Every structure is written in structure tokens, then in C-alpha cells.
């Protein structure tokens, strides 16, 4: 499997080479070269910021298509809880779940069920006191990838539990095999996702060797068909089996609320997440037990594959979950914490370091510092790099030229013109 | 390589900027995460102290492959009793600073804890020079 696979990708034909995406990228992973944006795969964390900000819709997030379900004898859909916030005047989650079955799936397994199991496991791990505090949620795949490339010191603080999606996928497959007698590989498990990073997380997972999910479908992609099936439903069978805690994971603060412990912090939006991680790194938040971080504003409801405005979806879910039980699923349902733990530790990926050893890195940094002094410090982006400093680094690495800076070029031209004028005079 | 930072004493909200910059640089140079953390926190504590007590100052950092030296120089009131200042929980920070969560009396003790050597030269009424080193090949 491609180590540098990314959901986020570029449609070259649509890219006009503007500076919107390069300025917004939290890992400075994008450059405009030859009039087109380029994504550095080793730096991209699939947060989707560039997809959101691109006015030309040239940045896209890849996902699987609904046709893929035909490849399997039996299929189970895993709806993310954020899906429930996409519908106006919805008062019963079972409408959504029955609609998904009508769409062509044999069964559904709510991700919110697995979220409640993870909430339960997190509560117990926290009270056992074996985790390094403050514990950082591992639920947001973009945040975990951000920590891996930018916050080496915090890798140990990340909650070593599998995501609700993965736990749901495993349980769904087990149930399907039991019910049908089919071999596990004949069962197709599909996540209905608000999130582009989840597409990457399934292809190149962190913490586990292989994902149990066979395909990731974008909520925005299936939404129109799903709505039409939901409108045609005659009667609904009872399928929903999760409570306030599980459904609450759909927006920021939900996971933390599920810990039933006030000593936590929740932050959403990638820039805010970075600020919190920096404070954490400086050991300024040592008193907290738990930190919930979501790359998207509002939490998963704000994902790039969501069909509805994230804040509207959040408000709807708040109303929708009002009369649900607090929680319907417990850790015992999966036989304890062991099966929920990551099997591989989160390891720092030093993609931002300047060289393999400190001596060389210092030489490179010296050169970058010198080059940066010559640049105008306007961070205009016209050169295709997000900041003057980033251009200085690209020049030193041989990836860009000084004349890519229009201000340096203007100065050079003025020098030449000034020289000829002097000669003439 | 050498770095120089001016730490302004009149804007408390900017305290911590210089140590943040050091942290970013050390990370990009590829130092061990533990070294980055120790150097950044030690400098942060010193920087905050300069702003709270001394009206700012300057920081000079020398980065060598095996050793990071951080020298914080201020022209503030000096430290009257260094031994006391080194005790955990002892602080002379004013109440308005404590309201922000600073002034817990952990500044100098933390610097001592995170660095490999710490030298304090201080004269009451003249100022303070803190020289600290973090060895890069040693785990805390």
C-alpha cells in the first residue's frame, strides 16, 4: 500500500495557480510551481483546509463510490453520527438507518455504538491512571497526523485506542459473518464519512496494521439518493442502538462530554488545534486529564464531505439526541479493553527536519536565515511558497530560484536599468 | 549557530515568543524531542521571569551539536536571595500576574530541573544573568 496515499488531491485542469491553498495549509505542504499547485505528500495530513478554501474547486478529496458495494455478497454501512445532522426536521434516527438499507446495504452498524464503547474504555483507562496525561484524543485522523509530523513530544500523549469507525467495522463484520455464514472477505464494510482524512486513514492506518473498512463513501455523494429513499419509506424497523454519548461524538465537545469528567479541554479548527498543541508542548496544560481536538470547525459535522453547514447539523443533532438514553453500549460488549488498543505506537515522522544530522541541518538553516534576510518578508505568496521564509528554504534546497520572488526580480531589473542609464549618462 | 532575541518588558502577552521560536528552530534542526522540550521550557521560564520581574531583557542562544547554551540577561532588580528563589513555591510575583496562572514559584526550580548546568549571576539593583546549558546527548 502506498505510504503517501492521500485523499486530498489536485485537479490540475481547474487549478489557476492562485495563493489561497498555500496560505491556508497548516503544514506548509503546498507550493505553486509552473502555475499549478503541488502537494508534498510527506507533509500533507489530509485536513481538507485546501479543499474548503479553493475557489476554483481544484482541490478535491477522493472517496469510494457506491457502486463498489456490488463487489460484495453482503454489505454493512457504518454511518458516522454526523450523518444524522444532515436532514431537516428529522426526529428519528431510524429513518436515516432504514434509508441507508434501502440504498442497497444489507445491514447497518452505527459508528456511534462503537464511540460509546471507546468512551467507556477511555473513562476506565483514565481512572486506572496508566496513561500519560493530558491524554489527547486519537479520534481525529488529521490531528493524529499533525501530531506525528509537528509535535514529536506529544506522540506519547495520544490515546492508544482504535477509532470508533474501526471498532464498528470489526463488530459489524463479526455480526455479518455470524448471521450469514459467509467468509469474512465476502462481507463489505462501508463507512459513510463526513471526513476526507478517514479515506486516508483506511488506506494507510495509524496504530493498527490494516483497516477493517473496505470502502469510504462521502456523505455529500450519497446524500441526494439517500434523501429520496428516506422520503419513500413506508415503515421503519428499529435499528438505532446508541445514546446521547455516542451521537454526541459528531461535534466538538462530544467525546470529552462522554468522559463524564469536567477536567478536559476541547478545541476545533486546525489553527486552534495547533495553538493548543503548542501550549501542551510547553507543559502549560499539565493539570488537564483529557484534550479533545478536531481539525474541522465544529467537529466532524464540519467535515469536507458533510452536505450541510456544520453548525446547523450540530444544532439538529442536539435536538435529535435529546430523548435518547445516555448510552447503550459498553466496553464489555467487546470483551474488555485489550481488543480496542492500538497494536502499533504512534511514531514521530520527522518530515520537517532540515537534514539527517544536526551539523548539516545547522548549515542548511544558516543558509536559509541568510536567504530569508534578502527577501521582503511580505509573505505575499506570489512566488508560490506560503511565506518568504518558506521560499528561502525552497531556494536553499534547490526547489526554487531567487527570481521567483517578484520583489527581488524587480530590484535586479532596476539595478540593470540603473546601470545602463548611468552608462548612457 | 547563534540566535539573539530581544524580550520586550512592556507587553506581557508576547512573553514566550522567543522560546517558541527557539523550539521551532531546534525541531527543524532535528534535535531529539526531549532536548527540544527541555531547552524550550527552560528558556520559556527564564523569559517569563524576565518579563514579570525585570522589565524584559535579551536572550542569546548558542546551538552546538552537543550542547545548547542559553544566556538570559536583564537589568532588573536582581534576586535578593538566590537560595530562596530556587525553592519550589517561593515567588515574589505580584497578584495580577498570579491571576494569570504565573508566579507559582516554579520558574527557577523548573529551569534547574530541565537543564544540565545553571549559573545565576545577580546583583540587587543591577540585574541578573542566567546561563544554562542543555546537553544534547543525554536523556533527562
Cβ contact B33–A283 (<8 Å): no
Of B16, B25, B36, the CB nearest to A153: B36
Binned at pLDDT 50, 70 and 90, residue B10 comes out as confident
Task: Enumerate the residues of chain A whose CB falls inside 8 A of the CB of residue B28.
Answer: 352-354, 361, 365
In the sheet that A187-193 helps form, which strands lie side by side, from edge to edge? A107-108, A74-79, A187-193, A215-218
Q: Which residues does chain A have within 8 Å of residue B37's beta carbon, measured at their own beta carbons?
A: 153, 281, 283
Hey, are the CB atoms on A153 and B37 less than 8 Å from each other? Answer: yes
Give the model's pLDDT for residue B12. 80
CA distance A139 to chain B (A): 24
Nearest CB to B28 within list A153, A352, A356 = A352
Three-point CA angle A9, A15, A20, nearest 5°:
85
- Hey, is the C-beta of B94 within 8 angstroms of any chain A C-beta? no
CA angle, B26 then B28 then B30, to 5°: 75
Decide if domain A1-62 falls under CATH 3.40.1390.20: no
Q: B125 CB contacts (<8 Å, ≥6 apart)?
A: B77, B78
Instruction: Name residue B64's beta-bridge partners.
Output: B67
Chain A residues lying within 8 Å of B63, measured CB to CB: 362
Whether the per-residue pLDDT at B139 is higher than 70: the answer is no
- How far is the C-alpha of A201 from the C-alpha of A196, rounded, in Å? 9
pTM for the full predicted model: 0.88
B111 inside 8 A of chain A by CB = no
Q: Which residues contact A261 (CB under 8 A, 6 or more apart)?
A: A123, A126, A289, A290
Regarding beta strands B56-64 and B67-74, do their DSSP bridges make them parallel or antiparallel, or are they unpaired? Answer: antiparallel
Q: Are the Cβ atoms of B33 and A365 closer than 8 angstroms? A: no
CATH for the A356-425 domain, from 1.10.3720.10, 3.30.70.20, 1.10.15.40, 2.40.160.20: 1.10.15.40
- One digit per residue, the tens of pLDDT, for chain A of length 425 reads 467 789 999 999 999 999 999 999 999 999 999 999 999 999 999 999 999 999 999 999 999 999 999 999 999 999 999 999 999 999 899 999 999 999 999 999 999 999 999 999 999 999 999 899 999 999 999 999 999 999 999 999 999 999 999 999 999 999 999 999 999 999 999 999 999 999 999 999 999 999 999 999 999 999 999 999 999 999 889 999 999 999 999 999 999 999 998 899 999 999 999 999 999 998 889 899 999 999 999 999 999 999 999 999 999 999 999 889 999 999 988 989 999 999 999 999 888 889 999 999 999 999 999 999 999 999 999 999 999 999 999 999 999 999 999 999 998 899 888 877 766 65
Residue A70: CA atoms inside 13 Å, Cβ hemisphere, count? Answer: 3
Cβ separation of B31 and A348 shorter than 8 Å?
no
β pairing state of B117-123 and B127-135: antiparallel
- Give the pairing of strands A290-294 and A264-268: parallel
Contacts 24+ apart (CB under 8 A), A14-20: A14/A56, A14/A57, A14/A58, A15/A56, A15/A58, A16/A56, A16/A58, A17/A384, A18/A55, A18/A56, A19/A380, A19/A381, A19/A382, A19/A384, A19/A386, A20/A50, A20/A53, A20/A54, A20/A55
**SS3 letters for A239-274?**
CCCCCHHHHHCCCCCHHHHCCCCCCEEEEECHHHHH
- The pLDDT assigned to A261 comes to 87
Residues 243-282 of A with CB under 8 A from B: 278, 281-282
Task: Tell me the nearest-neighbour CA distance from B118 into chain A, angstroms.
Answer: 20
User: Which chain A residues are closer than 8 Å to B5 by Cβ?
Assistant: none
Q: Where are the domains of chain A?
A: 1-62, 66-340, 356-425
Q: What pLDDT, on a 0 to 100 scale, did the predictor assign at position A425?
A: 54
CB contact under 8 A, B33 and A354: no
Beta bridge partners, A264, equal A290
The tens digit of pLDDT for each residue in B73-114 reads 999 999 998 888 888 888 888 887 777 777 787 888 889 999
A354 touches chain B (CB under 8 A): yes
Would you kindly state where each structural domain of chain B is located, as residue ranges? 2-135
Q: What is the largest CA-CA distance in chain A?
A: 94
Q: Which of B:45-84 have CB within 8 Å of A?
A: 63, 65
Contacts A–B by Cβ distance under 8 A: 54
How much is the pLDDT for A293?
98
Q: From A342, A343, A346, A293, select the one nearest A118 (Cα to Cα).
A: A342
Exposed / middle / buried, residue A11 (Cβ in 10 Å: 0-12, 13-18, 19+): middle
pLDDT of residue B59 exceeding 90, the answer is: yes
Average pLDDT of chain A to the nearest whole number = 94
Record: fold of B2-135: Heat Shock Protein 90 (3.30.565)
Note whether A287 contacts B: Cβ–Cβ < 8 A: no
- Note whether B5 contacts A: Cβ–Cβ < 8 A: no
Whether residue A393 contacts residue A368, with contact meaning beta carbons closer than 8 Å, is answered with yes
| A41 contact B CB<8A | no
pLDDT at B83: 87
Residues on chain B touching A283 (C-beta within 8 angstroms): 37, 41
> Given phi > 0 = left and psi -120 to 50 = alpha, else beta, which region is A104?
left
Cα A204–chain centre separation: 13
Q: Are strands A36-39 and A59-61 parallel, antiparallel or unpaired?
A: unpaired
Q: What is the pLDDT of residue B40?
A: 93
B16 and A CB contact within 8 Å: yes
Say whether residue B4 is in contact with chain A using an 8 A CB cutoff.
no
CA–CA separation, A91 and A75 (whole Å) = 26
Instruction: Judge: A362–B37 Cβ closer than 8 Å, yes or no.
Output: no
| ipTM over 0.95 threshold | no
| A113 vs B19: CA distance, rounded Å | 44
Interchain pair B30, A350: CB under 8 A = yes
Amino acid at each position: 500500500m502506498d505510504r503517501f496515499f492521500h485523499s486530498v488531491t489536485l485537479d490540475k485542469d481547474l487549478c489557476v495557480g492562485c495563493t489561497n491553498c498555500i496560505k491556508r495549509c497548516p503544514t506548509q505542504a503546498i507550493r505553486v510551481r509552473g502555475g499549478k499547485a503541488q502537494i508534498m505528500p510527506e507533509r500533507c495530513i489530509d485536513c481538507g483546509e485546501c479543499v474548503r478554501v479553493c475557489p476554483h474547486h481544484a482541490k478535491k478529496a477522493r472517496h469510494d463510490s457506491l457502486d463498489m458495494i456490488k463487489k460484495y455478497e453482503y454489505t454493512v454501512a457504518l454511518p458516522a453520527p454526523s450523518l444524522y445532522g444532515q436532514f431537516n426536521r428529522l426526529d428519528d434516527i431510524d429513518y436515516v438507518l432504514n434509508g441507508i438499507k434501502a440504498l442497497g446495504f444489507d445491514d447497518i452498524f452505527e459508528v456511534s455504538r462503537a464511540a460509546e464503547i471507546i468512551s467507556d474504555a477511555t473513562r476506565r483507562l483514565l481512572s486506572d491512571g496508566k496513561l500519560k496525561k493530558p491524554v489527547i484524543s486519537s479520534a481525529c485522523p488529521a490531528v493524529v497526523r499533525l501530531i506525528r509530523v509537528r509535535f514529536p513530544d506529544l506522540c506519547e500523549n495520544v490515546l492508544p485506542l482504535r477509532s470508533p469507525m474501526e471498532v464498528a467495522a470489526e463488530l459489524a463484520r463479526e455480526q455479518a459473518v455470524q448471521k450469514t455464514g459467509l467468509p469474512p472477505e465476502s462481507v463489505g464494510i462501508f463507512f459513510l464519512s463526513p471526513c476526507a482524512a478517514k479515506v486516508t486513514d483506511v488506506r494507510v492506518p495509524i496504530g493498527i496494521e490494516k483497516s477493517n473498512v473496505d470502502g469510504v463513501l462521502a456523505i455529500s455523494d450519497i446524500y441526494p439518493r439517500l434523501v429520496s429513499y428516506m422520503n419513500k419509506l413506508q415503515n421503519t424497523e428499529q435499528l438505532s442502538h446508541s445514546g446521547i454519548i455516542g451521537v454526541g461524538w459528531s461535534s466538538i465537545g462530544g467525546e470529552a462530554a462522554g468522559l463524564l469528567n469536567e477536567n478536559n479541554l476541547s478545541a476545533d479548527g486546525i489553527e486552534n488545534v495547533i495553538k493548543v498543541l503548542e501550549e501542551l508542548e510547553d507543559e502549560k496544560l499539565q493539570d488537564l486529564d483529557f484534550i479533545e481536538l478536531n481539525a474541522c470547525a465544529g467537529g466532524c459535522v464540519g467535515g469536507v464531505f458533510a452536505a450541510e453547514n456544520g453548525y446547523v447539523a450540530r444544532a439538529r443533532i442536539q435536538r435529535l439526541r435529546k430523548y435518547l438514553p445516555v448510552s447503550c453500549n459498553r466496553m464489555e460488549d467487546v470483551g474488555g479493553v485489550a481488543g480496542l488498543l492500538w497494536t502499533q505506537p504512534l511514531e514521530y515522522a520527522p518530515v520537517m527536519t532540515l537534514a539527517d544530522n544536526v551539523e548539516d541541518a545547522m548549515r542548511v538553516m544558516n543558509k536559509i536565515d541568510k536567504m530569508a534576510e534578502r527577501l521582503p518578508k511580505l509573505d505575499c505568496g506570489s512566488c508560490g511558497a506560503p511565506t518568504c521564509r518558506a521560499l528561502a528554504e525552497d531556494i536553499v534546497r534547490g526547489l526554487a530560484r531567487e527570481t521567483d520572488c517578484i520583489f527581488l526580480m524587480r530590484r535586479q531589473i532596476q539595478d540593470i536599468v540603473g546601470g545602463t542609464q548611468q552608462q548612457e549618462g | 549557530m547563534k540566535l539573539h532575541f530581544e524580550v520586550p518588558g512592556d507587553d506581557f502577552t508576547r512573553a514566550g515568543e522567543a522560546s517558541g521560536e527557539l523550539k521551532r528552530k531546534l525541531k527543524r534542526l532535528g534535535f531529539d524531542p526531549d532536548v527540544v522540550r527541555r531547552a524550550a521550557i527552560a528558556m520559556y521560564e527564564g523569559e517569563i521571569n524576565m518579563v514579570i520581574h525585570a522589565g524584559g531583557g535579551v536572550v542569546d542562544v548558542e546551538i552546538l551539536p552537543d550542547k545548547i547554551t542559553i544566556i538570559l540577561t536583564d537589568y532588573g532588580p536582581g534576586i535578593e536571595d538566590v537560595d530562596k528563589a530556587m525553592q519550589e513555591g517561593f515567588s515574589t510575583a505580584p497578584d495580577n500576574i498570579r491571576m494569570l496562572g504565573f508566579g507559582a514559584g516554579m520558574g527557577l526550580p523548573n529551569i534547574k530541573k530541565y537543564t544540565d548546568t545553571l549559573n545565576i549571576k545577580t546583583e540587587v539593583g543591577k540585574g541578573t544573568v542566567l546561563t544554562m546549558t542543555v546537553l544534547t546527548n543525554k536523556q533527562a
